[in-house]
Chains A and B, each alone.
Chain A
Amino acid sequence: MASLFAQAWSDASADIDAEFGENLTLYPRAAPTDPLGRADPNARSVPSMERWTVPFVGIFFDKGAMLHAHGRSMADSTTRPVVAEKPMVDVDRLQFGGREPVQGDIVLRHDTETFYEVTRFVVDDLNRAWMHLAEHRAASALVR
């Protein structure tokens, strides 16, 4: 049986999404097979046959940051930093029906008509998760 706190949080979670959330859509992607029938993870992705498109609600964070590209055995300051947004979405995991986003999936933010690629799906506590995104300018052609 769920604890009272878990039950209270579950109710609050829906309220927070209703108050701060916005509409997004997840387009699951998968690696295609090459002409020999082998999975080709280095090719351009194709729509997944095992997971389906899911509209969902999430709280979008888009805070700017100064970031460095990382190199092995090198200080971060070896290359100059990039100033960019670091888009993330705080989501309720139950919206995905057990088939959660994975790296490479595409997310559409309806408010701005911007497409993103999922780079990380980091599970938080109490059925929430952080979806880290990277802007994907060519994605609109992939999902339409």
Chain B
Amino acid sequence: MSLARTALRLGVIEALRSHPVVEAMCPGRVYDSRIADFDHGEPVPVIVVTTEELAGEPWNEQNGGEPFNDSCDLVLEIAMTQLVQNSDAAFLYSPETDSEMEASLDLLEECASSIVTLGRPTPRSPRPTAAGKLLMSAVTRRVSKRTSSRFASDQTGEKLAIHLLTFRVELKGEQIDSYEIAPGPFGILPDPLRTIAGAMVEGSSGYLTCQLIAERLALTVAPVAIPPSQPVVTPDQAPGTLPTSFSVDLSQVP
């Protein structure tokens, strides 16, 4: 289900931001599906969260169709340049050597991997963060594969390194037991997006995105005029008295 991908991205961004090291190194720089190129002048490091290839076999092999056992590639692009710090910049961490920059990217990768796959800041952390726990319990069933690739360049006049971290995430779907719509402003949304939307801070970009989807989906349950399947019965003009005559519209007799 593609809205599970939306839930995955929103959940992962909140989980990453709940990690103290990620939030300290990339405050306000965890992007959702960013299309624009990296700019050499922008603060670093930057994390771009995207969801890419999705594939799944139907749970019911005989009948096919929904629901599917979906797995999705969750891609984190962690980028960093070595910048000369000037008076306007407020970089919390500015690596001065290639080794330091690579270590910074490794550190971010380690933190991201732990929070996305375990829900905890480090494997030794006794408790998950609230957002990490929500991601684990509502969105992901398990992470079955992880790959990491490194890209580097100094052709732009600045040293740039990117770590491309890909997780194969098996997604949770929705167990539909009835046609009832769940209560609340996001009741129309399918799980896991409904659970994620309910945990979003009201007024945040994630909340507004979920609200936009809910408004569109509400069109699917809007009342529509249905033509009557039975003959229209006119009310009895003189109740309590027997009719002296009656007629049957033959076109309505099966």
Across-interface contacts of B204 in A (CB, < 8 A)? 34-36, 40, 43
Chain A interface size band reads 10 to 19
Q: Indicate if B102 sits at the interface (CB-CB under 8 A).
A: no
Give A39 Cβ to nearest chain B Cβ, in Å: 3
Across-interface contacts of B17 in A (CB, < 8 A)? 38
Q: Indicate if A25 sits at the interface (CB-CB under 8 A).
A: no
Q: Please choose the segment from B36-44, B107-115, B218-226, B239-247 that sits at the chain A interface, where 4 or more of its residues have CB less than 8 A away.
A: B36-44
How many A-B residue pairs lie within 8 Å, measured between CB atoms? 50
Across-interface contacts of B29 in A (CB, < 8 A)? 39, 41
Across-interface contacts of A35 in B (CB, < 8 A)? 201-204
Report how many residues on chain B are interfacial, defined by Cβ distance under 8 Å: 22
Of all chain A residues, the one with the shortest Cβ separation from B164 is A72
Across-interface contacts of A39 in B (CB, < 8 A)? 27-29
Say yes or no: A36 contacts B201, CB within 8 Å: yes
Contact of A72 among B41, B52, B206 (CB under 8 A): B52
Give A19 Cβ to nearest chain B Cβ, in Å: 30
Give B197 Cβ to nearest chain A Cβ, in Å: 15
| Residues of chain B whose beta carbon lies under 8 Å from any beta carbon of chain A | 13, 17, 27-32, 36-37, 39, 41-42, 52, 75, 201-206, 208
- Sampled A-B contacts (17; CB under 8 Å): A31-B28, A34-B201, A36-B204, A39-B29, A41-B28, A41-B30, A42-B13, A43-B204, A43-B205, A43-B208, A44-B205, A72-B52, A72-B75, A103-B36, A103-B37, A103-B42, A119-B37
| Residues of chain A whose beta carbon lies under 8 Å from any beta carbon of chain B | 31, 34-36, 38-44, 72, 100, 102-104, 119-121
